[in-house]
Structures are given as structure tokens and as C-alpha cells.
Amino acid sequence: MRVRCAECCNETEFSLDLWRCTCGGAWEPASLSPFDPDKIRMQDYSIWRYGDLLDVDIHTEEIQMGVGWTPLVRIAINDRIVHLKLEYLSPSGSFKDRGVNVMVNQLVNMGVRMVIEDSSGNAGASLAAHAARFGIEAEIYVPAYASLAKQHQIKVYGADVIPIPGQRKAAEEAAQRAVGPGKAYASHAYNPAYLVGQMTAAYEIWEQLGRKAPNWLIFPVAQGGLFLGCWFGFRQLYEKGLILEMPHLVAVQAVQIAPIYHAWVKELTNIPAVEADGPTLAEGVAISKPVRAKRLLQAIKETDGRVAAISEDEIRQAQIALAHLGYYVEPTSALVYAGYQKIKSEIDENDTVVLTLTGNGLKGSPQSV
Ligand SMILES: [Zn+2]
């Protein structure tokens, strides 16, 4: 797989030794083949529906997990119609499966038998599920504060869970130190095939809306894999003239730790690391600085997107509001509901809006209601 660094434009062939660019940047695909609707596998209702459109090196029949083709539900929130993309209905209970499924297929094709990842929980659970299905080993470094439900889920799949005290960054550093011969870093933050897997969400939404783009697409954002995957995916559709306009991409973070929000408000072109003001219920977005920082800001700017920061009280209320509509998602996922409320006044009432519900509520720590 030919890859490129968005930070320094270095280009090379992806290899296990060089899991990131020498400048520290993350790899992304060096180029993407033009989107061709005739290549959609119409009988396949999983991410592999788009298997002939993904620029990854998988030379055997893909091992399927039943990932993808999640429901897109039309629903009224207060007085407006929106669409909910139920990404939490994936085998491991989160949107991470899209990227992880493509990444693990590629890594196994490269001969990998053991994978390492750091995760606040969902990416680790997804990787552990795939390791079980593919018959390989997994070692997952989690921040010690990660919900016990997620840590338990990872263990049940048979992976090793290593809790690391301190901030999220400490788990990342521990995982990276453990990478070595025979142990591949299967990182949702750095791996380019993971990013390609997340592009399938854009193609699905486009098909599910009758081959149209939404006007607004709202995500919780930490590293931004799904956010950037959708940006790349919709750009592919736009470049082929299959959509007339790009959707506005909206990133939602927690007030307690909101690096993208602060950089966006100050109109910066890079994202300085921030310290957490305190713990957040939205543990999935508690990172001090995303790896693909410049790309995230570029995607927001080029799509005339928005960034919202949500308080702990608003997160609690949003989780309950979604539950009262019948959707039990974890607090991180509930960010999108609160984010939608914050920017609703800027949205035309005829616009199509998609909220991505990324993680199952059963994974979070129980809150009192
Ligand atoms: Zn670089």
C-alpha cells in the first residue's frame, strides 16, 4: 500500500517497521482510485460491498465479521427530522469495527500474528474481537480509568488487557514501547488501512439517502478516524460528480478536554496539545491532541464545518434524551445530540442532517438518572 504523510508529504510503501512517518506524522493513502458505482458488490451488505473500491493490499478472500451496512434511521427530534446512523450496532458495539476490519485483513495478509493497540476501550475491544476471529494474539493498553465494561469485553475476547495509570497519552506511549519484531502496532490513530475502512461509512450514507449527500454530518471526534474517513469518502463521490456539494462536517468534543475546539475558535492551522480540565463522561474523546491534526482542521474549513464543545451536564442530558427516543448509547456518542442542539439555529429546516451514534450504551459506566 502506497502511503503519504500529510505533515511532510513524504511518500513510501507501508511496512510494519515504519508504522508512522519519520517526522512523526500518520500515514494516509498516497492516492485513491476514482469511485466507480459499478464496482459496488450489490449483494454484499457489509463494508466489503465496497471492497473493490478500497485501495488496500488484501490478496486473499476477506475474512468477514458482519461489519457495516448499519441502519440509517429517520426520526423527529423536537420539531425537526434528522437521521441517526446506528454505528453502535456493529459486532463489537462500536464504529471502530469498520476501520479495524480492513486494517486487520491487511495486517494478516502481511503475515502479522500479534497486534498491539492503545485504546480508551472501543478500539481495543474491536481489535480484540478481530484477533479472536482471525486467530491471532492481541495486547491492548488501556488507560486505567477506561470503563470496566470495556476492559471486561476485551478480556472475554481472549486478549491481554494492560491498564496504564495516568492520562490517555501514557497508554499510547506504553503500547508504542511494546511494538517490536513479531508485534505489529494496529493503531486506529496511525494506520492508513484503518482510515480507508472508515470511508465506507460515507458510501453507505450516500446509498442509504438515495445516492445523495447529507447537508450536515455530526460526529464525536477524538482522533477523527470516522470523521476523516467520511471526508475522504465524500470527496471521492464529489470528484466523480456523484454529489453536488460536500456535507458540512461537525466535530463534537467535551468541554473538559477540547483541543480541536480551541484550535478552531482561534483559527489555527495546527492543534496544540491541551491539558484536561477534569475527567469527562465522554471517555472516548479524552485525548490531548489528535495525530491527524492538520487534516482535521482542513476538513472542517473546506466543508465550512463546525466544532462544538459540550459540558458534562449537557452530555448527561443528551444520553438520556437519546435513550428516551429508544437509543441507548455511551456518553461519548451522546455528544452528537448535544452538538446538534448547539448548531441547530444555523441549519436550514430542509437540510438533511445525520448524527453518528458510535458506541453502545452497555459499554459505558452506569450513570445515575
Ligand atoms: Zn512526515
For the domain spanning 96-185, the CATH number is 3.40.50.1100
Q: Give pTM, 2 decimals.
A: 0.96
Instruction: List, by residue range, all CATH 3.40.50.1100 domains of the chain.
Output: 72-95+191-363, 96-185
11-23 mean pLDDT: 94
What is the CA(364)–ligand 1 centre distance, in A? 36
Q: Quick one: pLDDT at residue 366? A: 66
Distance 91 CA to ligand 1 centre (A): 34
| Spacing, Cα 26 to ligand 1 middle (Å) | 7
Q: List, for residues 77-115, the tens digit of each pLDDT value.
A: 988 999 999 999 999 999 999 999 999 999 999 999 999
What is the Cα–Cα distance from 283 to 359, expressed in whole angstroms?
11
End-to-end CA gap in the chain:
48
CA of 190 relative to ligand 1 center, distance in Å: 12
**Measured in angstroms, how far is the CA atom of residue 295 from the centroid of ligand 1?**
13
Span from the CA of 8 to the centroid of ligand 1 (angstroms): 4
* pLDDT for 62 beyond 80: no
What's the 314 CA to ligand 1 centre distance in angstroms?
38
Query: In this predicted model, what pLDDT tens digit does every residue of 145-178 receive, in sequence order?
Result: 888 888 999 999 999 999 999 988 899 999 999 9
pLDDT score of 368: 52
Q: Contact, 226 vs 95, CB < 8 A?
A: yes
pLDDT at 64: 81
pLDDT of residue 190: 96
Contact, 307 vs 253, CB < 8 A? Answer: yes
Give residue 23 CA to ligand 1 midpoint distance, Å: 4
Please state whether beta strands 353-357 and 137-143 pair in parallel, antiparallel, or not at all (unpaired). Answer: unpaired
Residue 191 CA to ligand 1 centre (angstroms): 14
Q: pLDDT tens digits for 251-284?
A: 999 999 999 999 999 999 999 999 999 999 998 8
Neighbour count for residue 343 (Cβ, 10 Å): 18
CA of 24 to the centre of ligand 1 (A): 6
Q: What is the mean pLDDT of residues 235-255?
A: 98
- Ligand 1 centroid – CA 4 distance (Å): 8
Going through 201-246 in order, the beta strands assigned E by DSSP cover: 216-220
Average pLDDT over the chain, rounded to an integer: 95
User: May I ask the CATH class of domain 72-95+191-363?
Assistant: alpha beta
| Residue 291: pLDDT band with limits 50, 70, 90 | very high
Q: Residue 61: which pLDDT band, with cuts at 50, 70 and 90?
A: confident
At 28, list the grid cell: 494516509
What gap in Å lies between CA 65 and CA 97, rounded to an integer? 9
Strands 353-357 and 80-86: parallel
